[in-house]
Amino acid sequence: MKSGRKYIILLGDGMADYPIPELGNRTPLEAANTPNMDAVCARGILGLAKTVPDGMAPGSDTANLSVFGYDPRESYSGRAPLEALSMGIDLGPADIALRCNIVNAAGGVMNSFTAGHIQSEFSKVIIDEMNRNISIPGVEFHAGVSYRNIMIWRDYPYREISRTTPPHDIQDRNTGPHLPQGEGSGDLVGVMERSREIISGSAAVREAAKKFRGNPESVWLWGGGTRPRMATLKQRFGISGHTISAVDLIHGIGKAAGLEPITVPGATGYIDTNYEGKADSLLAALETSDFVYLHVESPDESGHEGSLEHKMKAIEDFDSRVVGRVVRGLDKFEDYALLVMPDHPTPISLRTHSSEPVPFCMLRTRGWEDDSLKGRSGRSYSEKDGRATGLYVPEGHRLLELMINGKL
């Protein structure tokens, strides 16, 4: 047995859902075959946690901040700045960052917020063309992973940041009512309209289309904000470690929290991701680190697609290829705490996020300091069984304290 306490969070993005008629009015978590998460529930505790504070949008940014142990009401400054931090982009006090999705919105309809899950190589060609052809003072574009890119506006000239809409919230809907609004919105809409001309008129883009997957038509700007300011987990709890994800947002939150990212080959953020590679990287990192936050995006992407088949597969793959593999690997550590949960629901029926409480299961080898937590184990991992235990955490950011201290 190896000594030293370890903390592990396994997050299946968007796994929670609503009852679905095709599943006999069960949720995907109820209907899926998840023996490994069920076993964690039986050995540990099961309950519901509210990760999105009242009055805040149910984004992966706010919800994951909660799971990382930060109160979004105090720590949130926008999604894009967190992603920029992950990409090594430094923001000055007067700078803002915006998420720059490459999308297909032909005909004024959000046909694909991922541009057909555009390949990163294709996306980079478009971002390079945007930098060459858009000359607003202080504006620069940075290529990320797949459709997820960043626009920086140095010395932002307006007092307020435009109000924007995430493109995954308007899949298959008219885009007109959801264009940026407020101060600076005219400039952002201008960039989006100019991108359409650049993509359709670029020889480099046409050549890339012959080589790589994707159906890009324009860019969509959203999620603007300023540089985040957060105390690190080392400063707060004396722990350090790593993030594992295909998503820049998670690595950005991690960097703000003092964690280092681990890049896993084949991590795509979709149902074809390298699940085993992520699990093995986590176990290797625990040899020298206290804490690892492993994030899997595929259930969320499947929910946005409205694909029940893909969501069921994503949940079952997360259970068998991540949770099961990690739990077996933890046998060599004598002292650890494990948390398994989603960040928010991404219901198939909505094809976007919602803010209801989500089920969490937690296993702690040292047991619980709070007697009220004893006997809160569950039969299976689902929203229904999480509700049945009566354990409710109204402030999701306190789950990390529960992992560390064994009490709320």
Listing DSSP states for 274-339 in one string gives -HHHHHHHHHHHTTT-SEEEEEE-HHHHHHHHT-HHHHHHHHHHIIIIIIHHHHHHGGGBSSEEEE
Count of other CB atoms within 10 angstroms of residue 19: 16
**pLDDT score, position 2:** 63
Residue with tokens 């050995």: 43
Which sign does the torsion angle of CA 129, 271, 50, 254 carry? negative
53/87 Cα distance (integer angstroms) = 27
**pLDDT score, position 294:** 98
* Cα angle 236-239-245, degrees, rounded to a multiple of 5: 105
**pLDDT score, position 229:** 87
CB burial readout 255-292, b (16+ within 10 A) else e? bbbbbebbebeebbbbbebbbebbbebbbebbeebbbb
Q: Where are the beta strands (DSSP E) in 108-238?
A: 139-145, 148-153, 218-225
Q: Which residues pair with 12 in a beta bridge?
A: 296
**pLDDT score, position 398:** 98
Which sign does the torsion angle of CA 192, 197, 203, 206 carry? positive
In tens digits, what is the pLDDT along the chain, a chain of 408 residues? Answer: 565 899 999 999 999 999 999 999 999 999 999 999 999 999 999 999 999 999 999 999 999 999 999 999 999 999 999 999 989 999 999 999 999 999 999 999 999 999 999 999 999 999 999 999 999 999 999 999 899 999 999 999 999 999 999 999 999 999 999 999 999 999 999 999 999 999 999 999 999 999 999 999 999 999 999 998 899 999 999 999 999 999 989 999 999 999 999 999 999 999 999 999 999 999 999 999 999 999 999 999 999 999 999 999 999 999 999 999 999 999 999 999 999 999 999 999 999 999 999 999 999 999 999 888 988 999 899 999 999 999 999 999 999 999 999 998
Which sign does the torsion angle of CA 404, 406, 407, 408 carry? positive
**All domains of the chain, ordered by start, with CATH?**
6-75+230-405 (3.40.720.10), 86-225 (no CATH)
**pLDDT score, position 143:** 96
Query: How far lies 202's CA from each of 49, 125, 399, in Å?
Result: 48, 10, 49
Query: How far lies 296's CA from each of 16, 59, 254, 282, 396, in Å?
Result: 13, 15, 15, 13, 19
**pLDDT score, position 4:** 81
